[in-house]
């Protein structure tokens, strides 16, 4: 089956026990988000908020809250889509076994977008930005945001839907300096397709037409976040995944309208015209701060009859976008490794905020005639990874050789880190990329989009047995009095609050003087942090603290460190300074009063009793 609308999806989920209705009035300021977060944490159902304070439109969230529910929504097409992706990666498979792939022919035909021929949106009513649900997720957010939009733009040089881009870039509906109902803010990152389109429009000195779709069949928002290869339209993928051709038309102002969307906001982005956007509580678990981003001047706001407003809440992982990622991995499987020779597995670690930490396994075959092996081919693979689409946003890349342990997988975070540390040569295995671009949402660097990367590559036999506990007599000098093993071979060290780089260098010197003559072979990594207990408590805490709060070029130090021929290394433990810095964005903290209200909803007799 293929859903014709968001309402059809909601009806199906409710019928099969995957959705509940919340009939009482709920405040879109923090309260709806708090309920969503609590239900997601308990792996609960999708939520239909029927009575949103201040708006006539109901809202739905947590549609993709579990991988099982996501797979249920696409139960009739998921396996066929995986086959199509497989064929895309290796077309020869279809030639070798043509009859095996006959059953996906109909799914492939659904991928062709269908223009309905309408010249006016006769099935849509008109509304305003202020009448939409004004959902604010976190206390410091700059205003209400659209958190599950599908932002459509066309290539100014090659107009038309087959060369268009559909992406999920957050939209700020109000607040800051935006003129209510007339302006909204667009936030997108450097590598996104919309950025290419705006650059071309700017060069021509013309406005860029933008259509923002919200709602529609669930295949539409999922397609907006799919990492599709260049030249493959998201609209074609949406049709194939939903088993329903993407229907569209153009209104009389020339804007593309998704005929199945619940809402469509149209407008223009003028060349070089920006306004402050943010703050926004984001998926790294911190706020992205206020910065100038493109301004969209609103033309019209359309809505279907009985339209439903979709939203999600992002924050420290895991969240609903984690389930998005799991479903994408389910669909694409080995598609990315097929595009990079020698790459077998890759994982952008969700618990670390996705882009800050990337694990990869590659082949190491450059010198099979030598008994001792070192990283060679995997360094070539690492460079390829860091030059590929969204993978280029990785800040820490850990890569190892498949030949060293064929049973190792990148999704076993603890075991993967231990495999790396068992083989790490800190004198030669860290390769830095300084003064480069990083994720827009990552504030650990030296400025917006500015920071560094490090590829840590290991190959060969184990070099050490990792300490599972500290040996008798181990000590650290004052002021490093509190420390705890976070993982085998990893020590979380509670440290004085960060003040400046000069003080940090002095503190590292104190550690170096105390440890430089010690045998620390079983302890290859130390992490300076603000709270050793919290950092070491869980593997998710460890990767979140360590890799979201450090900038490799500035925050990696080492015992007995050196720089030789422009290569940095050390002959003792690597030290990562993962303390909060004054220039970091603040972490997301929930509102206590709102949390108390949600507690009441979950109490006996409350609307969420038995759910949270």
Q: Can you tell me the distance from the alpha carbon of 278 to that of 134, in angstroms, rounded to the nearest whole number?
A: 15
Bond before 479 cis per omega within 30 degrees: yes
Would you say 385 and 397 are in contact if contact means Cβ atoms under 8 Å apart? yes
Helix 592-602 and helix 31-41, axial crossing angle in degrees, nearest 10:
60
Alpha carbon 490 to its chain's center: 26
For residues 276 and 288, what is the distance between their CA atoms, to the nearest angstrom?
12
- pLDDT digits over 172-218, tens only? 999 999 999 999 999 986 556 788 899 899 899 999 999 999 999 99
The answer to whether the CB of 400 falls within 8 A of the CB of 470 is no
User: Can you list the domains of the chain with their CATH numbers?
Assistant: 6-73+110-310 (2.30.110.10), 320-458 (3.40.1670.10)
What's the pLDDT score for residue 397? 98
Among 64, 54, 21, 612, residue whose Cα is nearest residue 312: 64
How far, in Å, CA of 301 to CA of 251, rounded? 12
Report the 3 state secondary structure along 518-548.
Answer: CCCCCCCEEEEECCHHHHHHCHHHHHHHHHH
Helix axes 539-548, 413-423, angle to 10 degrees: 60
Write the CB contacts of 334 (distance below 8 Å, at least 6 apart in sequence).
89
What pLDDT, on the 0 to 100 scale, is given for residue 94?
Answer: 39
The tokens of 198 are what? 């705006």
Instruction: Note the pLDDT of residue 594.
Output: 95
CA 404 – CA 397 distance, rounded (Å)? 18
Averaged over successive runs of 10 residues, the pLDDT of the chain (612 residues) comes to 92 97 96 96 96 98 96 90 64 43 56 79 90 98 97 94 92 97 87 81 92 97 82 85 93 95 97 94 95 96 96 95 85 70 93 95 82 89 90 95 96 97 98 92 88 97 96 93 96 97 96 96 98 98 98 98 97 98 95 93 78 77
Whether the CB-CB separation of 16 and 258 falls below 8 Å is answered with: no
Please write the tens of the pLDDT for every residue from 321-355: 988 888 888 887 655 666 789 999 999 999 999 99
pLDDT for res 284: 94
């Amino acid at each position: 089956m293929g859903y014709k609308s968001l309402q059809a999806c909601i009806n199906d989920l409710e019928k099969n026990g995957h959705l509940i209705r919340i009939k009482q009035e709920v405040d879109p300021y923090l309260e709806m988000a708090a309920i969503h977060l609590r239900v997601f944490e308990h792996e609960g159902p999708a939520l239909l908020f029927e009575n949103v304070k201040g708006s006539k439109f109901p809202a739905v969230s947590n549609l993709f809250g579990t991988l099982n529910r996501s797979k249920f929504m696409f139960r009739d097409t998921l396996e066929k889509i995986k086959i199509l992706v497989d064929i895309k990666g290796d077309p020869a498979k279809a030639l070798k076994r043509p009859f095996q792939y006959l059953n996906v022919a109909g799914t492939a035909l659904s991928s062709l977008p269908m223009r309905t021929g309408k010249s006016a949106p006769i099935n849509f009513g008109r509304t305003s930005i202020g009448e939409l649900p004004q959902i604010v997720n976190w206390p410091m957010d700059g205003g209400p945001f659209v958190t599950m939009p599908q932002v459509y733009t066309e290539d100014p040089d090659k107009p038309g839907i087959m060369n268009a881009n559909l992406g999920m870039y957050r939209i700020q509906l109000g607040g800051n300096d935006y003129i209510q109902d007339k302006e909204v803010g667009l936030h997108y990152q450097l590598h996104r397709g919309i950025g290419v389109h705006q650059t071309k429009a700017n060069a021509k000195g013309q406005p860029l037409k933008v259509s923002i779709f919200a709602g529609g069949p669930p295949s539409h928002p999922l397609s907006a976040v799919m990492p599709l290869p260049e030249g493959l339209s998201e609209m074609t993928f949406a049709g194939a995944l939903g088993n329903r051709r993407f229907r569209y038309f153009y209104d009389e102002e020339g804007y593309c309208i998704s005929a199945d969307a619940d809402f469509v906001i149209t407008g223009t982005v003028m060349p070089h015209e920006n306004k402050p956007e943010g703050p926004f509580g984001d998926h790294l678990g911190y706020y992205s701060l206020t910065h100038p981003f493109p301004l969209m001047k609103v033309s019209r706001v359309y809505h279907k009859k009985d339209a439903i407003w979709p939203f999600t809440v992002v924050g420290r992982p895991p969240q609903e976008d984690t389930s998005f990622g799991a479903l994408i991995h389910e669909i694409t499987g080995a598609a990315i490794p097929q595009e990079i020779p020698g790459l077998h597995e890759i994982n952008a670690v969700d618990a670390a905020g996705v882009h800050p930490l990337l694990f990869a396994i590659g082949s190491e075959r450059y010198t099979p005639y030598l008994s001792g092996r070192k990283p060679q081919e995997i360094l070539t693979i690492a460079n390829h990874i860091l030059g590929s689409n969204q993978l280029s946003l990785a800040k820490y890349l850990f890569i190892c050789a498949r030949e060293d342990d064929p049973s190792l997988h990148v999704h076993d975070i603890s075991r993967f880190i231990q495999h790396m540390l068992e083989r790490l040569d800190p004198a030669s295995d860290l390769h830095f990329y300084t003064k480069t671009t990083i994720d827009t949402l990552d504030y650990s660097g030296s400025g917006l989009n500015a920071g560094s990367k490090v590829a840590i590559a290991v190959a060969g036999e184990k070099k050490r047995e990792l300490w599972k506990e500290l040996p008798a007599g181990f000590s650290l000098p004052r002021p490093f009095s509190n420390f705890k093993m976070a993982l085998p071979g990893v020590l979380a060290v509670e440290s004085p609050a960060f003040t400046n780089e000069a003080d940090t260098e002095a503190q590292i010197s104190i550690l170096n003087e105390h440890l430089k003559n010690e045998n620390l072979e079983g302890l290859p990594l130390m992490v300076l942090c603000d709270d050793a207990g919290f950092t070491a408590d869980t593997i998710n805490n460890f990767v979140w603290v360590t890799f979201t709060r450090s900038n490799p070029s500035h925050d990696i130090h080492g015992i007995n460190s050196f720089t030789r021929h422009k290569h940095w290394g050390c002959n003792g433990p690597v030290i990562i300074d993962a303390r909060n810095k004054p220039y970091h964005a603040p972490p997301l903290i929930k509102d206590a009063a709102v949390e108390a209200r949600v507690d009441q909803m979950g109490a006996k007799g409350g609307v969420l009793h038995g759910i949270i």
